[in-house]
């Protein structure tokens, strides 16, 4: 048991360490893409977005680490051959000189690793079970081929075992997660808003709109800094240039764009929050309609 847990400690620590940074880089664009498609985002979408990033980060660390410190010496010492016999783990379990508990736990975890993928396919993406089955198989195949080729030639040999049984257990795990979600009947709620039906300006939507605006300001600032500053490197101090171009993008994003777009910011448009002026106009419209002309 300790041997099994030790093999998981380093990948777990690595995935949890990288998770916050990847969330900052990937979550905002991911949520924006969902907003463009759905015109609304819920806390369930936010939770599944962060959860999916943690899942795929952990999957990378668990399947590709630890890497050999000296690849050349490792490849000269070890010659890992692919295991191509389906259900070969049955023979390993029944043999008395094998660590049955370790083999069983490894088999179970190969299934458990892909259960979240099946859950995402059903609850988040609303896909068919055939799509989940194919997704589980293809992702597992990608991982196994990556291991077999030494991360596509990055290492001179295969430092992890290519096992056909992993394809079977991983695919089964994905299908199991899909079926469990189907039995529960859970789906992440989503509503596509029409042109007349916009999101209510609650704290959640305002917060997401603000996050999008801030992310766009930072992105535009970084791009401007990379492309423009090299031309002024000899004439303007870095700190002054950074503050100036950051201030320019803040003015453009929060003042000029709303002025030109009749109150809309990019964040409020993606979330679907109507400008305050339009909301007031909509509230007054029924009253005007209630007084017919004489």
Q: What is the pLDDT along the chain (294 residues), one digit of tens a residue?
A: 444 344 444 555 555 556 556 555 656 665 665 555 555 556 676 777 777 777 887 787 778 777 777 888 888 888 888 888 888 877 776 676 666 777 788 888 899 999 999 998 888 778 899 999 999 999 999 999 988 888 888 788 888 888 899 999 999 999 999 999 999 887 666 544 334 345 556 677 777 778 878 878 887 787 777 766 666 566 667 777 788 888 888 888 888 888 877 777 877 777 777 666 665 555 555 544 444 444
**173 and 209 both lie in a single domain:** no
**136 and 10 both lie in a single domain:** yes
**168 and 226 both lie in a single domain:** no
Residue 198 forms part of a structural domain? no
Number of structural domains (the chain) is: 2
**79 and 177 both lie in a single domain:** yes
**130 and 210 both lie in a single domain:** no
Considering Cα of 249, then 251, then 256, then 257, what sign does the dihedral take?
positive
Query: Which domain does 225 fall in, by range?
Result: 203-290
**106 and 152 both lie in a single domain:** yes
**74 and 157 both lie in a single domain:** yes
Considering Cα of 150, then 152, then 156, then 157, what sign does the dihedral take?
positive
Residue 52 forms part of a structural domain? yes
**25 and 92 both lie in a single domain:** yes
**16 and 102 both lie in a single domain:** yes
Residue 227 forms part of a structural domain? yes
pLDDT at 131: 92
pLDDT at 5: 40
pLDDT at 235: 60
Residue 150 forms part of a structural domain? yes
**70 and 102 both lie in a single domain:** yes
**88 and 134 both lie in a single domain:** yes
Residue 192 forms part of a structural domain? no
**169 and 209 both lie in a single domain:** no
The three-state secondary structure class of 265 is: coil
Between 164-184 and 100-112, two packed helices, what is the crossing angle to 10 degrees? 50
The answer to whether 108 and 154 are in contact (CB under 8 A) is no
């Amino acid at each position: 048991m300790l041997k099994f847990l030790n093999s998981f400690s380093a990948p777990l620590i690595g995935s949890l360490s990288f998770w916050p940074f990847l969330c900052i880089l990937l979550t905002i664009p991911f949520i924006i893409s969902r907003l463009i498609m759905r015109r609304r985002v819920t806390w369930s979408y936010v939770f599944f977005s962060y959860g999916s990033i943690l899942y795929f980060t952990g999957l990378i660390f668990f399947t590709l680490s630890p890497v050999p410190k000296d690849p050349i010496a490792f490849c000269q010492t070890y010659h890992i051959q692919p295991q191509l016999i389906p259900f070969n783990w049955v023979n390993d379990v029944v043999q008395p000189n094998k660590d049955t508990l370790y083999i069983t736990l490894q088999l179970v975890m190969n299934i458990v690793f892909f259960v979240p993928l099946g859950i995402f396919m059903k609850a988040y993406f609303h896909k068919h079970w055939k799509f989940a089955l194919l997704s589980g198989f293809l992702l597992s195949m990608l991982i196994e081929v990556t291991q077999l080729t030494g991360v596509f030639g990055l290492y001179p040999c295969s430092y992890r075992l290519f096992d056909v049984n992993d394809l079977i257990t991983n695919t089964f795990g994905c299908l199991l997660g899909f079926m469990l979600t189907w039995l529960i009947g859970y789906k992440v709620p989503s509503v596509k808003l029409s042109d007349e039906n916009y999101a209510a300006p609650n704290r959640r939507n305002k917060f997401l709109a603000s996050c999008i605006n801030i992310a766009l300001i930072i992105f535009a600032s970084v791009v401007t800094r990379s492309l423009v500053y090299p031309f002024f490197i000899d004439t303007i101090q870095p700190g002054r240039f950074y503050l100036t171009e950051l201030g320019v993008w803040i003015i453009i994003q929060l003042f000029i764009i709303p002025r030109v777009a009749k109150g809309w910011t990019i964040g409020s448009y993606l979330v679907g929050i109507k400008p305050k002026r339009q909301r007031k106009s909509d509230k007054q419209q029924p009253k005007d309609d209630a007084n017919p002309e004489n």
